[in-house]
Structure 1
Amino acid sequence: MLYILIMHQVDLRRIDLNLLVTLDALLEERNVTRAATRLGMSQPAASRALGRLRDLFSDALLVDGPGGYLLSARATELRPALRQILAGVGALLEARRFDPAVASGPLRLLMTDLHAAVLAPHLLSRLAEEAPAVDLDIIPPGPAIAAMLENEMVDAAVGVIEVAPSGILRRKLFEDRFVTIMRKGHPAGENRLTLDTYLTLDHMTINVTGTGPAPVDELLSAMGRRRRVRTRVPNFFAAMEIAAGSDLVMTLPESLARTAAGAARFIMLPPPVELGPIAVSLLWHARDQDAPRHMWLRSLIVAAAQMSVDKNNSR
């Protein structure tokens, strides 16, 4: 049986499968000239193709009859299978196309509430225009982002990822920077923070995954200094509300501070230590690199990120 299968594979490699398209036109038109016109080829080329098909099937396929060609018994027999094969190939190729206007179902994006606040309004606006039947599911991040992409639990992820693990592709969306915020009327006032003043304040941090120190604490530790972190919370917007109603200060990405400070509830100051830029990236699995649906999704996210950057730059 294996030998027979291998022989069939070899035979297929020697066959010009475009002949099947020509055969379908010939059987449909029962006229070489009309079939040639339908296929956009010359009449001699269509005649040569008919000769090759006759050799391939060991059958005349089209036979002379009153007023033109008739289908041979063999041609009549294979015609339904031929149409089914060509329809299947068409469906296979059609699956490589993606039309957002008729698409449905959820897009599952892994991101923090910070990045959802920054990107989701722009994403939803584009979805309403381009893909009204597509829904947006925001999935909170965990410690195993790569595994969630690998297991198709999410379509893409947005986050601060310096190096993408094997099998995961990455594109930088925009650069953010750290700012320190405190409520309006905070006892520390609105003057630029010195390191000593900064360290006397009570701090709050956001620990999304529940593991690892904050970048500020890593830098302070390297300097032999330490701040007092009185409160740790798992998401950004809870932290914003706590900061608005207390004397806790928070060092966080500027994009969130600008998104959440719409009521001008906060003073925004540069931190007293240089923390460097934050690269916010888009991540996806390598298997989805050329998938039309995923390519469209990535273009949507990139456009939303650019709109967010333009909005912040205009302030």
Structure 2
Amino acid sequence: MVHVGDLDLGALRVLASLLETRSVSATARELGRAQPWTSRELARLRELFDDPLFVRTGAALEPTARALALAAPVQELLAHAEALLRPMGKVEAASLRRRFVIGASDYGELMILPALLLTLATAPGVTLQTRFIGDDVDRHLQSGALDLAIAARFATLPGLVQHKLLDDRNVCVVSRHHPLANGRLTLADLVACPQVEASPRGVLESLVDEALAARGQKRRVVVRTPHFLTALQLVAKGELLAVVPARLARMGAESLGLAVLAPPLDLGGFALHLSYREVARTDPELTWLREQVMAAASASSA
């Protein structure tokens, strides 16, 4: 049986890192420790939890069910420990030293990161790590695995807060060589043309489908991908159509040779939201980061 006195933050950091890297050597590098020390800590964790925790499969370590069950509570404990040790007060960007973890779709990254990185030039000690978000973004936020998320609005779990960053409208894109590229897109065209859909959270029925259903119509989606950029690449290299946010469509028109078409009916919009934990309001460094994200969103909307 594990007793609280047997655990320390160093061991928990090793466990959290191993769950992410699946490698003893990578964890040692991340924590700035020697590999033998990391191996000893893993052996101690195995003894404490009476479980292998990780099983070698080829070159990687695969977590056991017990290790996976520990992931969220360990992240939360580490986040609380960091909050306890972090001094309160005004944040000086130039002296800030912290790695922030942001959950985002590729659309969120493209809309926010360019302007955000310009702001972060004044904070050389800050590192951003983005992670792709799926349908479990709320749980990753609640557990503290993510500092914040930049994504479409979702039904939040208790303790989470959301603020709108920017609005976008849905438009249609095809390759410039597509038969529909130079004409006016009709409802019949939209329904008949095979489509690729970008759905970062894996939602099968979107606003587009709802708008068509209200007209008694249904489109033909042949590929669904969680990545907007993958959808644009597939459109550029084939005969597919995609419905995407207008800002992203303009980028694709310039870089991939896409034609942007006005939809024949209102296909809804796309609102990007900033989501974070309520408890993070008391963390001045996270408050500073949120302010920079909101400023970056304003710059992107200008």
TM-score range, shorter chain: 0.5 to 0.7
**Residue-pair matches, total:** 219
**Matches of 2:269 and 2:124 in 1, distance apart?**
36
Q: Could you state the TM-score of these two structures normalised by the residue count of structure 2?
A: 0.68
Is the contact between residue 114 and residue 256 of structure 1 (CA under 8 Å) also seen in structure 2?
yes
**Which has the larger displacement, 149-158 or 266-275?**
266-275
- How big is the alpha-carbon RMSD for the aligned residues of Structure 1 and Structure 2? 2.0
Counterpart residue identity of residue 124, structure 1: L
1:111 aligns with 2:91: no
Asked if structure 1 preserves the Cα contact closer than 8 Å seen for 2:208 and 2:268, the reply is no
Identify if the C-alpha distance between structure 1 residues 95 and 203 changes in structure 2 by more than 3 Å, giving closer, same or farther.
Answer: same
Aligned to 1:287: 279
Cross-structure match for 2:270: 278
What do residues 88-147 of structure 1 show as CA deviations (whole Å, max 9, x unaligned)? xxx98943343221122311111101110121111111112x211111111111212221
Q: Paired residue for 1:173?
A: 165
- Please state how far the C-alpha of 1:163 moved relative to its aligned partner: 5.0
Q: Select which of 186, 205, 220 maps to 2:178.
A: 186
Give percent identity, aligned residues only.
29
Q: Which moved more, 1:117-126 or 1:269-278?
A: 269-278
Residue type of the partner of 2:197? T
Letter in 2 for 1:190: N
1:238-274 Cα offsets, whole Å, 9 max, x none, are 1111111111010011121123332361111121221
Number of the residue aligned with 1:95:
88
> CA distance change for structure 1 residues 94 and 106 in 2, over 3 Å: closer, same or farther?
closer
- Residue 282 of structure 2: SS of its match in structure 1? coil
Query: What is the one-letter code of the residue matched to 1:131?
Result: A
The match for 2:188 is 196
SS at match of 2:274: strand
Q: Note the residue ranges of structure 1 that are not aligned, 5 or more in a row.
A: 1-90, 311-315
Alpha-carbon contact 1:205-1:214 (below 8 Å) kept: no
Q: State how far apart, in whole Å, the 1-side matches of 2:269 and 2:197 are.
A: 18
- Whole-angstrom CA distance in 2 between matches of 1:204 and 1:162: 22
Q: Pick from 226, 229, 254: which aligns with 1:234? A: 226
- CA apart distance, 1:164: 4.0
Relative to structure 1, the CA distance from residue 93 to residue 173 in structure 2 (aligned partners, 3 Å threshold; closer, same or farther) is closer
Gaps of 5+ in 2: 1-83
Q: Is the 8 A contact 1:118 1:259 kept in 2?
A: no
1:121 match: 114
**Which AA in structure 1 matches 2:113?**
A
| Distance (whole Å) between structure 1 residues aligned to residue 127 and residue 161 of structure 2 | 24
